[in-house]
């Protein structure tokens, strides 16, 4: 067995091992090379800080790691970890982490973050033994819904750029890594932005991916909620995508209002994850 940087491995091989590793997972994950490249760009994955395990020259396990400041702390994010079935139970994840920590030491990384599906108790216990703790619960919604609004209370306009100074004033929660500002800036070309205006004042917004039908961020001014603004934004999104499908991933369950809103749209919520953190 040999530990190597994933920058030395062809992306086609990474995809093959990723797909083999996740084929029997609780929620199967399957990517192609283009999707992997988009993930690398959006999440700021650093292949020189990502690690693989070779057995007789073949990749059998991997960890993708990204790097961004979070709340003023340089943070390493585990974007994906997998080991093919034939090589599980050999402590490869721990070996890869040992390698990673050596690489992070000179970078002054202050914390490590990852997500693990609720119910994957063996993985949760393994990460807890490595010093991780559950920081918050993230919930997911998906399904088909037909959104109808009784009346238009705001004007919906498509925006050409993000207005973070205003957008962040509407936040009740901090987005998870994949929906955070850095990730959306990195994938701006694939996103659409809708603003909700009342008397020419921005009172809410929606950022979404029209191809995946995925809601990336949705927020409304705290003083303007319960007036159908979020509903109008979702309705406008569905008019653009010409689809009933809607996907919302990794919403902090502390946002009771947002969870209630997506539940009212009759979306299912069969999946939740724990965001886990560890101080380096």
Residue 184 pLDDT more than 90?
A: yes
CATH 3.40.630.30 domain span(s) along the chain:
2-109, 141-272
Cα–Cα distance, 230 to 149 (Å, whole number): 10
Which pLDDT does position 25 carry in this prediction? 81
Cα–Cα distance, 61 to 91 (Å, whole number): 11
Residue 276 pLDDT more than 80?
A: yes
Whether the CB-CB separation of 234 and 265 falls below 8 Å is answered with yes
Predicted confidence band of residue 236 (pLDDT cuts 50, 70, 90): very high
For residue 215, list its beta bridge partners: 208, 248
CB 119: neighbour CB atoms within 10 A?
12
pLDDT tens by residue, 113-170: 999 999 989 889 989 999 999 999 999 999 999 888 767 889 999 999 999 999 999 9
CB 136: neighbour CB atoms within 10 A?
16
In this structure, CATH architecture of domain 141-272: 3-Layer(aba) Sandwich (3.40)
Closest CA to 178 of 130, 133, 144, 212: 212
pLDDT tens by residue, 157-178: 999 999 999 999 999 999 999 9
Q: What's the mean pLDDT in 52-62?
A: 96
The values of phi and psi at residue 221, to 5°, are: -50, 130
Task: Please name the residue that has the structure tokens 């990195």.
Answer: 186
Cα–Cα distance, 132 to 154 (Å, whole number): 44
Q: 2: burial class by Cβ within 10 Å (0-12, 13-18, 19+)?
A: exposed
The domain defined by 2-109 folds into: Aminopeptidase (3.40.630)
The four Cα atoms 227, 229, 231, 235 give a dihedral, to 10 degrees, of 140
Stated pTM of the model: 0.94
| Angle, vertex CA 273, rays to CA 190 and CA 40, nearest 5 | 35
The helix/strand/coil state of 249 is strand
Which pLDDT does position 226 carry in this prediction? 92
Dig out the tokens for 207 from the structure.
């950022």
């Amino acid at each position: 067995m040999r530990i190597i940087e994933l920058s030395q491995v062809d992306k086609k091989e990474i995809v093959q091992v990723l797909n083999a590793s996740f084929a029997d997972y609780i929620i199967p994950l399957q990517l192609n090379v283009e999707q992997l490249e988009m993930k690398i760009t959006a999440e700021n994955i650093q292949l020189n800080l990502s690690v693989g395990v070779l057995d007789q020259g073949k990749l059998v396990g991997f960890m993708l790691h990204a790097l961004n400041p979070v709340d003023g702390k340089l943070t390493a994010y585990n974007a994906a970890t997998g080991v093919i079935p034939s090589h599980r139970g050999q402590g490869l994840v721990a070996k890869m982490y040992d390698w990673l920590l050596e690489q992070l030491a000179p970078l002054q990384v202050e914390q490590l973050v990852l997500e693990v599906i609720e119910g994957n108790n063996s993985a949760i216990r393994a990460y807890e033994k490595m010093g991780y703790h559950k920081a918050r619960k993230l919930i997911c919604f998906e399904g088909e819904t037909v959104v109808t609004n009784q009346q238009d209370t705001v004007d919906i306009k498509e925006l050409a750029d993000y207005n973070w100074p205003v957008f962040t004033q509407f936040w009740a929660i901090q987005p998870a890594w994949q929906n955070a500002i850095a990730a959306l800036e990195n994938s701006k070309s694939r996103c659409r932005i809708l603003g909700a205006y009342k008397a020419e004042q921005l009172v809410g917004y929606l950022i979404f991916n029209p191809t995946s039908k995925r809601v990336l961020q949705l927020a409304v001014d705290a003083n303007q909620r319960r007036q159908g603004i979020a509903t109008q934004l979702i309705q406008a999104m569905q008019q653009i995508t010409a689809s009933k499908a809607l996907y919302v991933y990794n919403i902090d369950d502390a946002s009771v209002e947002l969870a209630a809103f997506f539940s009212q749209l009759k979306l299912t919520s069969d999946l939740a994850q724990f965001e886990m953190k560890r101080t380096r």
